[in-house]
A and B are shown apart, each in its own frame.
Chain A
Amino acid sequence: EIVLTQSPATLSLSPGERATLSCRASQSFSSSLDWYQQKPGQAPRLLIYEASKRAAGIPARFSGSGSGTDFTLTISSLEPEDSAVYYCQHRSDWLTFGGGTKLEIK
């Protein structure tokens, strides 16, 4: 079973700054890695699929990259509404999620 480790656990940044969230896999796999955003009291929302493709309606400031065991979600210029928990998800055998990164906007 592939285990996904996300870092940092918590990230606190100011509006306009750049956020870099990491997702590391215990084994190498292809690009079947997705990112979700979850705000308090809401269901997760798909942001990025296949490591780098933006889902419908997702702002261009969100981007994904990586392959093998190291994947990154970048938010180029933070907005106050980006405050949320971000999860990566792998789906080679079945669906597994990372533990999440909590992003706080100061």
Chain B
Amino acid sequence: QLQLQESGPGLVRPSETLSLTCTVSGDSITRYPYYWGWVRQPPGKGLEWIGSLSYNGNTYYNPSLKSRVTILVDTSKNQFSLKLTSVTAADTAMYYCARHATNGCYAGFRCPLDYWGQGTLVTVSS
């Protein structure tokens, strides 16, 4: 059974870097043709795709966040991580990691998201 679990600080100071990790269990993040992504949701608001990572380490980012976002992979721990620089209060949100579906979809990060972590709330405040 595939499971994803987000972890990281719940509080980040303005102008600093937000760092989160997603630990995947039940399958390998390097297995073809899996893609893995990050989605966030400000309190009481809608969903925003942040970016995604392919099984072979390619990354894809939301153009609106691209200048501040990096997604990295640690294959030895079966984890991928999110780094968001120069955060402001507008970055306060629930952050989810998720897997892009592979059943009948061959579009990589443009596939729907079928497995999600439970999410982790990050607050940006001094």
Contact = CB atoms under 8 A, between A and B. Distances in A.
Contacts of A36: 47, 113
Contact of A50 (B62, B104, B114): B104
Given A91-B112, A95-B110, A49 B49 contact: no
B11 interface: no
Size bracket of the B interface: 20 to 34
Contacts of A43: 96, 98, 116-119
B58 to A, nearest CB: 14
Interface stretch (A11-19, A20-28, A71-79, A96-104): A96-104
Contacts of A89: 47, 112
B112 A100 contact: no
Given A49-B101, A94-B60, A94-B63, A44 B113 contact: yes
Contact of B62 (A44, A46, A94): A94
Interface of B: 37, 39, 46-49, 60, 62-63, 96, 98, 101, 103-105, 107, 109-114, 116-119
Given A46-B114, A96-B49, 10 more contacts: A43-B119, A44-B113, A45-B116, A46-B113, A49-B101, A53-B104, A95-B39, A95-B49, A95-B110, A97-B47
Interface of A: 32, 34, 36, 42-46, 49-50, 53, 55-56, 87, 89, 91-92, 94-100
